[in-house]
Amino acid sequence: MAALLEIAQIGQEVLTTPAQPVIEFDSPDLERLIDDMLLTVANSNGVGLAAPQVFQSTRVIIVSSHPNARYPSAPNMLPTVMINPIILTCSTEKELGWEGCLSVPGRRGQVERHKSLKLEYCDKTGTKLIEEFEGFVARIIQHEIDHLDGISFLERVSSSSAIVSEKEYQKICDS
């Protein structure tokens, strides 16, 4: 049975250490990690989660875009497990957008990201897939891959004035 996992908070070493690739796909430990991450992201109103955020330094992310209290206008998609993701190409066009993070509670920041990308990743059986993503989902993927590389969205904001509290972010969204 899946269990809720504790989410690492900014300043903890696991969030600044590059994660290791998954080598063994037919593993009860990997299956348990995926099930636990799916439950944890759903329970936290998140749209994405990287294994380092739950203290596992392995290259696994969940992308789970859906409208919720934190992202009311997020597009709907089924939760997708992406193992050993590699961005193959990115659009030259970028866009500025607000990001938050379960590991950085209470803060939002404006981050410039590529509008679209082509991604290679493995599903939980180890099957390689290549897909293209755009808009908000492409933003989630870039954010979560940053976690795999030990990078926080706070390192991507253009200036400290581009970081606001959750309360101020909500005022911006309501105006």
CB-based contacts of 40, cutoff 8 Å, min separation 6: 4, 5, 7, 46, 49, 54
The residues annotated as belonging to the active site are 144
Confidence of residue 68 (pLDDT cuts 50, 70, 90): confident
pLDDT over 90 (residue 174): no
Distance CA 36, CA 30 (A): 10
Q: What percentage of the chain has pLDDT greater than the value 70? A: 100
pLDDT for 153: 97
- pLDDT tens digits along 154-166: 999 988 888 999 8
Domains, the chain, ordered by start: 13-174 (3.90.45.10)
For 19-33, 64-78, 142-156, which range has the lowest pLDDT when averaged over its residues?
64-78
For 20-24, 116-120, 139-143, 167-171, which range has the lowest pLDDT when averaged over its residues?
167-171
Give the three-state DSSP class for 98. strand
Compute how many other C-beta atoms are within 10 angstroms of the C-beta atom of residue 171: 10
pLDDT over 80 (residue 15): yes
